[in-house]
Amino acid sequence: MAILVTGGGGFIGANFVLDWLSHSDEPVINLDALTYAGNLENLAALRGDTRHVFVKGDICDAALVGRLFAEYRPRAVVHFAAESHVDRSIHGPGAFMRTNVEGTFSLLEQARAFWGTLPAAVRAQFRFHHVSTDEVYGSLGPTDAAFTEEHPYQPNSPYSASKAASDHLVRAWHHTYGLPVLTTNCSNNYGPYHFPEKLIPLMIVNALAGEPLPIYGDGMNVRDWLYVRDHCSGIRTVLERGRVGETYNIGGWNEIPNRDIVQTVCSLLDELRPSPAGPYGHLITHVTDRPGHDRRYAIDARKIERELGWRPTETFPSGIRKTVRWYLDNPDWVAHVQSGAYREWVDRQYSAASDPT
Ligand code: NAD
Ligand code: DAU
């Protein structure tokens, strides 16, 4: 028995692989193209561990994926591989269409071909678990009810549109071909190994470097925040006990405006690594808003709790403290991910001349 994980070199995928192998000896075949967001250092704890087989490759490479199915005969696929950053999707949507839409299509086809060869009893146990996002549901007003699984799809960015398309493909492969799929739509994750292009790790690494902390617009956009290891346990739960063909929302019950997130990071750094230059809050700057910036996301995670008994274990105060502590304890990881390509992205995104139109 083994599972095939795609994108297991990225932020959530790597946390998932580490979490999986801390709960089980079932091997993981980890297929990752190692784009700018993929990093084998995230998996350094598994060096020499024969339960982890890393394969550098593209989910769009049908021949390679077909070979992996034939060789390892996984009982499940957990599909994380994606382009994941909204701002990058605004500057260059093509990569998002290729990996998130075409890549998911190609993976579904290879999974379907393999699944079709299995004996009936094994076929019934096979699962294709698609990891998706709350962004497919669009944006909420301040008093709107949180997203349930029945909320209409209203994606607003190239990223969320590409994820919505991939969700639709997964749904269709179940309804048309009977492929046993599961989909989870999760809110904003945070925690160790988070690439510092995203809000929380960007604020931590910029603050420590004495650089500005750029808040888009008025800073009152609201996200629901979930500690990444809670997302991993949610995925394990759905993979184990979720009803085939269903979608489950996963969230942290932590709706917080961006301004408060940044203040919290600054306060924790003031406590744990005070700066001789004074409180980190002085570095906060308000910059031009993200085009099409969704105002509010909120997840109603009652279905997964009611049906499968899953709830997050981490509160935001406990999770963010662990996260800030992790970045303070791992300066080498931070230094290594801040490559030339990373600096180019930051300069392009946050320069005064930055204009995605
Ligand atoms: P990430 O950008 O950190 O990692 C993505 C990984 O996919 C990287 O390791 C990258 O190398 C790999 N990859 C990209 N294109 C590939 C391709 N063509 N073939 C093989 N591998 C490829 O992303 P993440 O934040 O870890 O997100 C993982 C998944 O979870 C994504 O599907 C994302 O949409 C979803 N998600 C993320 C969040 C979040 O807050 N980060 C929340 C909900 C859902
Ligand atoms: O909701 C789930 C989604 O969360 C995932 O599907 C995405 O893959 C993931 O990247 C994340 O998307 P967001 O756009 O919400 O995350 P990001 O960290 O980019 O931004 C969080 C909020 O912070 C958002 O309102 C934009 C704001 N922001 C972000 C950056 C990078 C800033 O104000 N300043 C910044 O520099």
192 lines ligand 1 (CB under 6 A): no
Q: How far are the Cα atoms of 12, 150, 211, 253 from residue 328, in angstroms, in the given order?
A: 20, 41, 16, 26
Q: What's the number of CA atoms in the CB half-sphere (13 Å) around residue 229? A: 16
Please report the pLDDT score of residue 354 as a whole number. 47
Q: Which two three-digit tokens encode residue 157?
A: 């960015």
Are 76 and 126 a contacting pair, CB within 8 Å? yes
Q: How far are the Cα atoms of 52, 126, 251, 290 from residue 72, in angstroms, in the given order?
A: 12, 13, 32, 43
- Provide the whole-model pTM: 0.98
Q: Whose CA is nearest to atom 29 of ligand 2?
A: 199
Count of residues for the chain? 357
Residues 6+ apart with CB under 8 A from 221: 257, 258, 293, 294, 295, 296
Task: Please tell me the distance from the alpha carbon of residue 131 to that of residue 77, in angstroms, as a whole number.
Answer: 10
Phi, psi for residue 258 in degrees, rounded to 5:
-55, -40
Could you give the residue numbers annotated as active site?
134-135, 159
Q: Whose CA is nearest to atom 19 of ligand 1?
A: 58
Please report the pLDDT score of residue 282 as a whole number. 98
Q: Whose CA is nearest to atom 44 of ligand 1?
A: 133
Please report the pLDDT score of residue 120 as a whole number. 96
Nearest-atom number in ligand 1 for the CA of 13 is 26
Please report the pLDDT score of residue 343 as a whole number. 86
Please report the pLDDT score of residue 243 as a whole number. 98
Please report the pLDDT score of residue 353 as a whole number. 45
Please report the pLDDT score of residue 263 as a whole number. 98
CA–centroid distance, residue 58 to ligand 1 (Å): 13
Q: What is the mean pLDDT of each run of 10 residues along the chain (357 residues)?
A: 98 98 98 96 97 98 98 98 98 98 98 98 98 98 98 98 99 98 98 98 98 98 98 98 98 98 98 97 97 98 98 98 98 92 90 53
Please report the pLDDT score of residue 285 as a whole number. 97
Phi, psi for residue 319 in degrees, rounded to 5:
-70, -40
Nearest to 54 by CA among 24, 14, 11: 14
In this structure, the residues whose C-beta lies within 6 A of any atom of ligand 2 are 84-86, 133-135, 187-188, 198-199, 202, 214-216, 221, 223, 258, 290, 297
Q: Whose CA is nearest to atom 8 of ligand 2?
A: 84
298 lines ligand 1 (CB under 6 A): no
Residue 257: strand, helix, or coil: strand
Q: In this structure, are strands 222-227 and 255-257 parallel, antiparallel, or unpaired?
A: antiparallel
Fold adopted by 3-189+227-252+296-313:
Rossmann fold (3.40.50)
